[in-house]
Amino acid sequence: MSRIALITGATSGIGRATAIAFAKVGINLILCGRRQERLEELASFLSSQVKTTTLLFDVSNKEAVFSAIESLPEPWRAIDILVNNAGNAHGLSSIQEGSLEDWDAMIDGNVQGLLYVSKAVITGMVARSRGHIINLSSVAGKQTYANGAVYCASKKAVEAISEGMRLDLTQHGIKVTNVAPGAVETEFSLVRFKGDEERAAKVYEGFEPLLAEDIADAILYAVSAPARVTIADMTIYASAQSAPTTIYRK
């Protein structure tokens, strides 16, 4: 079988766009997410191009992560590419007003979840002496902004984990790419603002935000580079954006 990628959060946004981009170049797909119907719809949509399989689990559920990934039959177990895409922002509040539930959801999903999935996949990559891990960080991991302390902290953790992974895994033939997108118009703001469509739409008003496909293109570039090349870090802003909260709107 040609290369196999496992993508978390594959049902929407950057995860879904990455799955579509990978399918175009013949990378077989293990699509992971929490929404069964969407997973199956995507798997069947892409199955004319590549082999697909789905795994239904929440990255923050440790047991579910390990039992899902360990349940993969051969030849799916030989994962070449892991895209740690699952993650979200919950709320945009000052540290004195932030909700503990939101904080737990961000630390559990963006940090613990990424670690659990990585642990479940890295063992096999080390044994095979090859692999490529793509971690979805954010410009929020480069620069903290007001009302975003915990989200930014979760993404700074991703930045540190990417660096640590690269230090530990390079000797095992495993590449690590950290991708930090700016404003991408996906369900991101809708989730952050708990379904408030008006507030979510305002985030992308007056400028052209990035598309999920733009980030997928960058990820595809990283996994298509020659064996001698590691794309270590990519920070990707919308053209109208120069810092996480500095956006030139018309």
Cα–Cα distance measured from residue 101 to residue 236, given in angstroms and rounded to the nearest whole number: 29
Is residue 151 annotated as a catalytic residue, yes or no?
yes
Cα–Cα distance measured from residue 238 to residue 214, given in angstroms and rounded to the nearest whole number: 10
Residue range at the interface with ligand 8X3 (CB under 6 A); choices 45-53, 102-110, 125-133, 138-146: 138-146
CB of residue 139 vs ligand 8X3: minimum separation in angstroms?
5
User: Within the chain, what is the greatest distance between any pair of CA atoms?
Assistant: 53
Residue range at the interface with ligand 8X3 (CB under 6 A); choices 11-19, 39-47, 99-107, 134-142: 134-142
Please say which residue, 111 or 140, places its beta carbon nearer to ligand 8X3: 140
Interface with ligand 8X3 includes 138 (CB under 6 A)? yes
Give which of 86, 121, 113 is closest to 5, Cα–Cα: 121
Interface with ligand 8X3 includes 14 (CB under 6 A)? no
63, exposed or middle or buried, with CB in 10 Å at 0-12, 13-18, 19+? exposed
Half-sphere exposure of 167 (CA within 13 A, CB side): 6
Which is catalytic among the residues 145, 151, 204, 221? 151
Q: Which residue of 140, 157, 200, 247 would you call a contact of ligand 8X3, by CB under 6 A? A: 140
Residues with a known catalytic role: 151
Positions in the binding site for ligand 8X3 (CB under 6 A): 138-140, 182-183, 188, 244
